[in-house]
Chains A and B, each alone.
Chain A
Amino acid sequence: MKKLLYVQTSGIDTPERTYAPFILATTAQAMGVDATIYFLIKGLTIVQKSEAAFVRLGSFPALSDVIQQAVDAGVTLYACEQSAQLLGLERGSLRDDVEIVGAATLNKLVLEADGTLYF
């Protein structure tokens, strides 16, 4: 199975950059491609509990709905919790369906992906 990795470094302060990884990853799963999204730096704000519910852009559904759609499609969500420290945010309070991982795992994912897209 081919693998695609989406690295999300943008956060909810730039909502126009938050939708694409979920939509692409959901589509990848539908194409028989294993999709993973890794959140770090400001991207961490997207997977903090309750934050995404307040993001809605244009005629798109709420970001939280798009996240749920991706999870339901089998997309794997990983987050760098150290980014919270970098940004002065509280640690923890991430969505339950997000696994906390670190630098070694991001390096492995990039090495093993057939393609990596950065947002």
Chain B
Amino acid sequence: MSSWCPLGRVQQAQGGIPIATEEIDAIGLFCPEPIVRLGKAIKKIEEGDTVVLRADDPSAPRDVESWADISGNELVSTAEKDDHWEFVIRKRGGEK
């Protein structure tokens, strides 16, 4: 069962290992802000933890993919919502 804490981090039990999820609301923000926030968030978490990024900048889908590819992190999923995209990114060890 997930539980929210005031810092926007969610602790989920998955196979007995706690997974921290950082949430970023970048809706209404334009390039490069969603990527800059994603980069900051990924630095705060441990390898294997995830970040959920919500953004509506039209450049976001391709840029998140580019960012993940170059930074060596994993873009787990991209979901198209009514008025924004929701990206799930998992921190991976080290850059390419």
The distance in angstroms between the C-alpha atoms of A78 and B59, with both chains bound, is: 10
8 Å CB contact of A111 from B30, B32, B60, B70: B70
What 1/0 flags go to A72-89 for Cβ under 8 Å of B?
Answer: 000000101110010000
What 1/0 flags go to B48-67 for Cβ under 8 Å of A?
Answer: 00000000011110111111
B69 CB within 8 Å of chain A: yes
Specify which chain B residues have a CB less than 8 angstroms from the CB of A109 in the assembled complex.
66
Specify which chain A residues have a CB less than 8 angstroms from the CB of B70 in the assembled complex.
104, 107-108, 111
- On whether the beta carbons of A107 and B66 are closer than 8 Å, the reply is yes
What 1/0 flags go to B20-32 for Cβ under 8 Å of A?
Answer: 0000000000111
Number of interface residues of A (CB under 8 A): 16
Contact residue range for chain B?
A: 10 to 19
A contact patch SS: helix
- Interface hits, A48-103 → B, CB 8 Å: 78, 80-82, 85, 99-103
The distance in angstroms between the C-alpha atoms of A34 and B45, with both chains bound, is: 37
- On whether the beta carbons of B30 and A104 are closer than 8 Å, the reply is no
Can you list 15 A-B contacts with CB-CB less than 8 angstroms, sorted by A residue number? A80-B31, A81-B30, A81-B59, A82-B31, A100-B59, A101-B63, A102-B63, A103-B32, A104-B70, A105-B66, A107-B66, A107-B70, A108-B67, A108-B69, A108-B70
Listed in ascending order, the chain A residues whose CB lies under 8 Å from chain B are 78, 80-82, 85, 99-105, 107-109, 111
